Amino acid sequence: MTAQPQIKTHPTEAIHLPESDSLLLRLAWWITQIGSPPVLGLAGILLVGAALGFGQHWPLLLTYTSLALLLPFGFVLWLLQQGKVSDYNLTQREERFWPMVVSMASALVGWLVLRQMSAPALLLALAATNLAQSVTYFFITLRWKVSIHSAVAAGLAVLASAVAGGTVWALVLAVPLVAWSRVVLRRHTLAQTVVGAAIGSLFLAFALLFYGV
């Protein structure tokens, strides 16, 4: 039986490539970085902004980005700097508790602020999805480890399909690609990526229906 290549990373996974000669591992690493939740989350907000019009709605978009994306990501980076987490992808399940608490709180505040500011339905649907998913991830993570990479990739594909129609096939194909990278890097099992993709796609689809988008 052929031995699989060993995956070794430096403490800051976001900066250093795996110490492996395997091209597949390096490709998977790059896909994981490009398909990380902060990157795809920002892509989702920009997609909503493009659909609604940046000129008119930039204060709402900037406010929501700061609350729902920059605040929790900044908290993770602070934990990383303090040596309290191993990498910004929160590879170890036990490291996810406080980042997820912060994510839930910031998602709740973001959704409430958007409601108060009478934000468009599309942006409210995105914020409601983020809140519902954050709560779901938190309770799942108490016992199991779901792939948030896959969830955000699948949610972005659904969002893009709703906004741009059939011209976003590349984003749909990105979902199994991101899931593959997580499995190859041994960050998740196949089941964890499938459950994550299901949560990401179904929650956003329901939110779009609920808000009549």
Task: Tell me the domain boundaries of the chain.
Answer: 31-210
Q: Which residue has the tokens 């689809």?
A: 205
Separation of alpha carbons 212 and 144, rounded Å: 33
Q: What pLDDT was estimated at residue 166?
A: 66
Q: Which residue has the tokens 């591992």?
A: 25
Separation of alpha carbons 208 and 163, rounded Å: 10
Residues 26/99, Cβ–Cβ less than 8 Å: no
pLDDT in tens, the chain (213 residues): 444 444 444 444 444 556 666 889 999 999 999 999 999 999 999 999 999 999 999 999 999 999 999 999 999 999 999 999 988 888 888 899 999 999 999 999 999 999 999 999 999 999 999 999 999 999 999 999 999 999 999 999 999 999 987 667 778 899 999 999 999 999 999 999 999 999 999 999 999 999 998
Q: What pLDDT was estimated at residue 124?
A: 98
Q: What pLDDT was estimated at residue 18?
A: 60
Any long-range contacts for 19-27 (C-beta under 8 Å, 24+ apart)? 24/184, 25/184, 25/185, 27/181
- Using CA atoms, how far residue 151 sits from 120, 130, 168, 207, in Å, is 23, 11, 17, 15
Separation of alpha carbons 95 and 90, rounded Å: 6
Residues 98/82, Cβ–Cβ less than 8 Å: no
